[in-house]
Amino acid sequence: MKIGFYMPVFNAQEYIKEALPAVFAQSLKISEFVAIDDASTDNTAEILKEYKMPSLVNQRNLGIAACRNAAVKHLKTEFIASLDADCLPDKDWLKNLMRRFDSPKIAGVGGKLIEKNQTTAFDRWRATHMRQFWQDKKQKPKFLFGSNTVFRRDALIDAGLYNEVFKLNYEDVDICRRLREKGYAFIYEPGAVAYHLKKDNIFSLLNSYWEWHRVYYEEKGFYSDQKNFILKIKDTIGLANRYLRQDFAAGRHELLFIDFILSLQHTLKDWEYYVARKSQIGFAPHTKAHIWLSLFDITFCSRIYSGTPGLPTLLPAGNAFMQNYFAMLFIINKGLQDNFKSAAFKKAVFRHLLQAVYNLDCEELDNILLIMNEKDKKWEETLLKKHAHLDAEFLKEVFKYFNAWLTDLHCNKKELLKSVMDSAEQIDTERLKGEKSDEAKKLNADN
């Protein structure tokens, strides 16, 4: 019985120095090793050479499924084990997985992935709402999380290998579905433990969560037309509402602001994906310059042409996403104004949504948005006019559903609402402490 091992890597320099020694130190012998480097642009390749890890290098980024296929084709062993680059296995991880292959119908066995880093609210949110394991009982699940597994090589080939349309995730769900159709089963072994080394900010966290679920919503037809897309807005609010209730009831109050921001970030992300999918529009890069230009254009034209039936724009269609981003912020302002009296909380919403959508931290922009929203409380009357790039139907539904949701929270869940505001303050305090700590570390390193 020979076991091959592979690790798909892309810009993984932050993790593999810690992960690779634990792979080489497994208590059960591994016959072949290979890393699949998906066109990394950092020092990943140099670190792999340093640890003498054999590697195959993609000339361009092909995605996770293509990397897995390259490994399966390269390794000729009966069993193929794999770990994501940000996973640190226990010494007996592989041994505990392999002892569960007690039937030729068992195609794969997966282990338990524990979040190692839970120092920030974002990492604790991931540990709560993005678990990659099936609790603590041994069972036969419908699929195995791709982060830490062993598969029979012949079974993967029998199922047709991984579908390379899946670039970021869902390839694990898809291959397991096809393996089940072939009559295979899977085992979850909680005694095979690996630790997730990932650290998130609000941008990486919410975008990863959205991407995790995109294929599901696509298969259900939520992006197929305007009517179904509007249902997706309602579904997103329902998801945020469910997480708010769960986290509040469980005493995880520091996570509540992330639940709240999810509703806005996912709605914008859904709109961007829906429009790009429907019309093949190539949106402009989310650069700081494009963001500022989009804000100036929409506010300038709104003021100058406030008495006209339509609004012109000076920008090309590529800026449509950024223009709708600001229009949505202005339109939900009524709900924020009516239900959140704290200017600090509103500023936190603008700041963290900017970070969640654009990965941009810009206090000047946060302050301008706050001032503009304070001065003009009737943006919806202007921004729902005919406009070349604004999606009036989308904005109307956002205005309707979000304001109704916020009003319900204000009227019926005052204690929860207060905890959401407290959570925002706690996350900002945590952020400032982290920035000071990073500055201190940099200063010590320079000295």
Strand arrangement of the beta sheet that strand 3-9 belongs to: 55-57, 32-37, 3-9, 79-83, 148-152, 106-115, 185-196, 87-89
pLDDT level of residue 281 (50, 70, 90 thresholds) = low
Domains, the chain, in order of start with CATH, read 3-199 (3.90.550.10), 203-436 (no CATH)
* pLDDT(388) > 70: yes
pLDDT at 437: 65
252, pLDDT greater than 90: yes
pLDDT tens across 348-385, in order? 999 999 999 999 999 999 888 888 877 665 677 777 77
Q: What pLDDT shows up at residue 371? A: 83
User: Tell me, what's the pLDDT at 432?
Assistant: 78
Percent composition of the chain: helix, strand, coil (DSSP 3-state, to 5): 60, 15, 30
Q: Tell whether the model's pLDDT for residue 444 goes beyond 70.
A: no
What region does 161 belong to: left with phi over 0, alpha with psi -120 to 50, or beta? left
pLDDT at 129 over 90: yes
Q: How confident is the model at residue 8 (pLDDT cuts 50, 70, 90)?
A: very high
Structure tokens at 190: 């909680």
Q: What is the CA radius of gyration of the chain?
A: 24
pLDDT of 443: 64
Q: Which residue has the higher pLDDT, 102 or 335?
A: 102
| Rounded average pLDDT over 424-443 | 76
> Which residue, 58, 70, 52, is CA-closest to 10?
58
- For the entire predicted model, the pTM comes to 0.91
Among 48, 46, 60, CA closest to 20 = 48
Kindly give the interhelix angle for 363-375 and 320-331, rounded to the nearest 10 degrees.
50
Q: Sorting pLDDT into bands at 50, 70 and 90, what band is 438?
A: low
pLDDT given for residue 323 in this prediction: 92
Give the pLDDT confidence score for residue 439 in this predicted structure: 65
Higher pLDDT, 26 or 286: 26
The DSSP secondary-structure symbol of 318 reads: G
Mean residue pLDDT across the chain: 91
Calculate mean pLDDT across residues 168-181: 96
SS3 34: strand
22-53 pLDDT tens trace: 999 999 999 999 999 999 999 999 999 999 99
187 three-class SS = strand
Cβ pair 40, 11 in contact under 8 A: yes
Which comes out higher in pLDDT, residue 414 or 125? 125
Percent of the chain whose pLDDT exceeds 90: 73
pLDDT in tens, 139-155: 889 999 999 999 999 99
Say what the pLDDT of residue 57 is: 96
